[in-house]
Amino acid sequence: MKIRALVSFLVLIFLYQPSFATVYNLPATKHETVVAEYPNEIAVTRADQNETLLDVARRFSLGQVEIIRLNQELDRWLIKKNQVITLPNKRILPDSPHDGITLNIAEYRMYFYPENGSKVYSFAHGVGRQDWKTPLGKTTIQKKVKDPVWRPPESIRREHAANGDPLPEVVPAGIHNPLGAYALYLNLPGDYRIHGTDIDKIFGIGMQITHGCVRMYPEDIDQLYHLVSEGTPVYIVKQPIKVGWLDNVLYVESHPDLEGEETTLDQRLASAAALIQKANNNELPEFNQPALQEALEKQDGNPTAIYERVISPEEAAAEALATQEKTEIPVISPIKAIAPVVKKVEVKAPKLMPKTKVVVTKKPAISTKAKVIKAVKPATKPASTGYYHG
């Protein structure tokens, strides 16, 4: 077994710009579910002034928990000038239909699959607190509303009044409306929405902080609002552990438990083993157990390579042919990109700072010295995919 060595990295000196969705090309091979924003293994940025990790998250359309877990050695409240911050690069797509929107509340991110089938958009979002959980399951976008008016339920008004922050019966549209400028109403009992946020809660994205709704950055909900239509399917899942293939390498991705939940390492190992077995034609390969355990302990959301499959020349030729035959359908890129920027139609973007410098190292090598250890025993029951078919 060989494991790719994660040795090269991409250095990005960031642009001062608002957040927009990260747009990934879907893998050419149908069974692969790992996507990457940059060609290198690791992406980083260097601060050009003193700031916080929350400022960096805002700029790169990342959630607060996500960027903190990737930079556990840094002080979230003080990032000094020239300090290096790790950014996400690879992501494993949730185990759900590649159709419409998937919200994986365990990683505080959503994925939107346009109808052309060649791209996937990924956005950060906030979810419901322990006492106001975001419901799981399949639903649809019931209606779209620009400049929504908020009528707080009586339970929320009582909560705010008890905290010395009384709410009016009706909160008009505007910069202080918690729903932001756009709202996508879900076909669920309880008035659940995917919506923006007001200027007072801009740094709560990517946290378990709402009353059950899904909250997004203002620029992100603007973009999503104009991408989707009423009737778009929405899958709400909870998948803290994900497993997926890319270029015959198997990756695992692990996220922390939500508030009020607690799983042991043994439970996470059993769940991961079941997912690995499912991804490998129901056979458990002799994967790199230390790498898996480290990923499940660290829970930083960074996909970790644990196994590389050796395929025959005939299989390789068949996959190459399938890749060549796949037609690429062009999609307008969001403004956040390394390549030359394409102007976004729906959102007015502020002026960018001067050009930035990009340094790219060589393609990562493949290690031939990965230690093979006897695989753990899989869970007795297959791990739940976190959604149901309605």
Q: What is the pLDDT of residue 298?
A: 93
Measured between alpha carbons, how far is 324 from 288 in angstroms, rounded to an integer? Answer: 32
User: Does position 262 have pLDDT exceeding 70, yes or no?
Assistant: yes
Residues 268-273 have a mean pLDDT of 96
Q: pLDDT-derived band of residue 337, with 50, 70 and 90 as boundaries?
A: very low
Q: What is the pLDDT of residue 373?
A: 32
Task: Indicate the domain borders of the chain.
Answer: 97-239
Q: What is the pLDDT of residue 177?
A: 77
Q: What is the pLDDT of residue 117?
A: 79
Residues 98-110 have a mean pLDDT of 92
Q: What is the pLDDT of residues 206-236, one digit of tens each?
A: 665 554 568 888 899 999 999 999 999 999 9
Quote the strand ranges of 175-329, DSSP E. 182-186, 193-195, 208-210, 214-215, 233-237, 241-246, 249-254, 304-308
CATH says 97-239 is which class? mainly beta
Q: What is the pLDDT of residue 114?
A: 93
User: Does position 153 have pLDDT exceeding 70, yes or no?
Assistant: no
Q: How many CB atoms lie within 10 A of CB 354?
A: 6
User: Does position 315 have pLDDT exceeding 70, yes or no?
Assistant: no
Measured between alpha carbons, how far is 215 from 360 in angstroms, rounded to an integer? Answer: 34
First to last CA, the chain: 40
Q: What is the mean pLDDT of the chain?
A: 74
Instruction: Tokens 């956005």: give the residue.
Output: 123
User: Does position 48 have pLDDT exceeding 90, yes or no?
Assistant: no
User: How buried is 168 (Cβ within 10 angstroms: 0-12 exposed, 13-18 middle, 19+ buried)?
Assistant: exposed
DSSP 204: G
Q: What is the pLDDT of residue 376?
A: 39
- Ranked by mean pLDDT, the top range of 130-134, 157-161, 246-250, 351-355 is 246-250
Q: What is the pLDDT of residue 198?
A: 73
Q: Give Cβ neighbours of residue 324 (< 8 Å, ≥ 6 apart).
A: none
Q: Tell me which of 190 and 276 has the higher pLDDT.
A: 276
Query: Do the beta carbons of residue 390 and residue 137 sit within 8 Å?
Result: yes
Q: What is the pLDDT of residue 272?
A: 97
Q: pLDDT-derived band of residue 344, with 50, 70 and 90 as boundaries?
A: very low
User: What type of residue is 375?
Assistant: A
Q: What is the pLDDT of residue 195?
A: 86
Marked catalytic residue, from 195, 211, 255, 389: 195
User: Does position 379 have pLDDT exceeding 50, yes or no?
Assistant: no
User: Does position 327 have pLDDT exceeding 60, yes or no?
Assistant: no
User: What type of residue is 172?
Assistant: P
Q: What is the pLDDT of residue 159?
A: 62
Q: What predicted TM-score, i.e. pTM, was given to this entire model?
A: 0.72
User: Does position 169 have pLDDT exceeding 90, yes or no?
Assistant: no
12-27 burial, b at 16+ Cβ within 10 Å, e below that, comes to bebbebbbbbbbbebb
Choose the weakest-confidence range: 202-211, 262-271, 284-293, 375-384: 375-384
Q: What is the pLDDT of residue 80?
A: 93
Q: What percent of the chain is predicted at pLDDT more than 90?
A: 38
Q: pLDDT-derived band of residue 154, with 50, 70 and 90 as boundaries?
A: low
- Dig out the tokens for 244 from the structure: 């997926």
Q: What percent of the chain is predicted at pLDDT more than 70?
A: 64
User: Does position 335 have pLDDT exceeding 60, yes or no?
Assistant: no
- Paired with 24 in beta bridges are 120
Marked catalytic residue, from 125, 211, 213, 255: 213
User: What type of residue is 383?
Assistant: A
- Is residue 195 annotated as part of the catalytic site, yes or no? yes
Q: Tell me which of 74 and 331 has the higher pLDDT.
A: 74
Q: What is the pLDDT of residue 15?
A: 34
User: Does position 295 have pLDDT exceeding 80, yes or no?
Assistant: yes
